[in-house]
Amino acid sequence: MATQATEQIAQRLRKLVITGQLRAGTLVSEAYLSELLQCGRTPLREALQRLSHEYLVDLPPRRGILIPELSIIDFQEAAEALLYSGGTYVELAVRRISDDQVRELRDIVTEQQQHNASAQFYKVAELDCRFHTLLAQGTGNRYFAESARRLHTSLERFTYRAWTTTATAERSIEEHDLIVQALLERDPVLSKERLRQHAELGRQRVLLVLGLGNHAQGS
């Protein structure tokens, strides 16, 4: 029960942070979050530790809980990690992923399209993380899967901001569809290239929304 309660609290906290309901740059107390979420301190602390590992909160000693700023440096580093790590696991996933997992990826794309049409961008962001985690799970290697989940969770604040600002996640979802098509063809070269393009184009889109213009072309 404790594990389930912790995960439920973690899910609610993720939404508050990613959607900006807990404002970036603010410091909040355990007491405040406990009252806000109507939960006990023990599962709250466990949930906060999970979010800390996902880079969604900072836990400075004896100072409360810090909601990190949307740092361009943090985004660039996470986007770079995605750009270079994704190509590694997708080549392995092409050889190992099951037909059922590919169908599930295709279903995620369909669900993303539906939520995008109704401007439910938090759901789109959740499914974005699920898509990439499932793709990494296709390798059969839990370390790839956990790394992908943490990385994409940390990026959700940025992609959510970009999609709400532009009022669409259509291009990102279209790129997911192209990745699924390459997986259906069991083509490792094409799959790797489409994932690389998706990571790079997504990086450029977010940086443009954040007002950096041509800096999106950085190394």
pLDDT tens digits, 120-135: 999 999 999 999 999 9
pLDDT of 218 > 80? The answer is no
User: Which of the four pLDDT bands, split at 50, 70 and 90, describes residue 2?
Assistant: low
The pTM (predicted TM-score) of the whole model is: 0.91
pLDDT at 155 (0 to 100): 95
CB within 8 A of 6, min separation 6: which ones? 43, 46, 47, 50
| Cα–Cα distance list, 1 to 5, 43, 47 (Å) | 6, 10, 14
Report residue 24 as tokens: 């970036």
**pLDDT per residue as tens digits for the range 132-171:** 999 999 999 999 999 999 999 999 999 999 999 999 999 9
> In terms of CATH architecture, what is 2-66?
Orthogonal Bundle (1.10)
Q: Work out the mean pLDDT of the chain and round it to a whole number.
A: 92
The label of the residue with tokens 């604040």 reads 157
Tell me what percent of the residues of the chain surpass a pLDDT of 90: 86
Q: Which of 79, 103, 9, 91 is nearest to 50 (CA)?
A: 9
User: Residue 216: pLDDT above 60?
Assistant: no
1 Cβ neighbours under 8 A, 6+ residues apart: none
Using 50, 70 and 90 to split pLDDT, how confident is the model at 62? Answer: confident
**Where exactly does CATH 1.20.120.530 map onto the chain?**
72-217
Q: How much is the average pLDDT of 90-103?
A: 96
| The domain defined by 72-217 carries CATH number 1.20.120.530 | yes
Q: Where in the chain is the domain with CATH 1.10.10.10?
A: 2-66
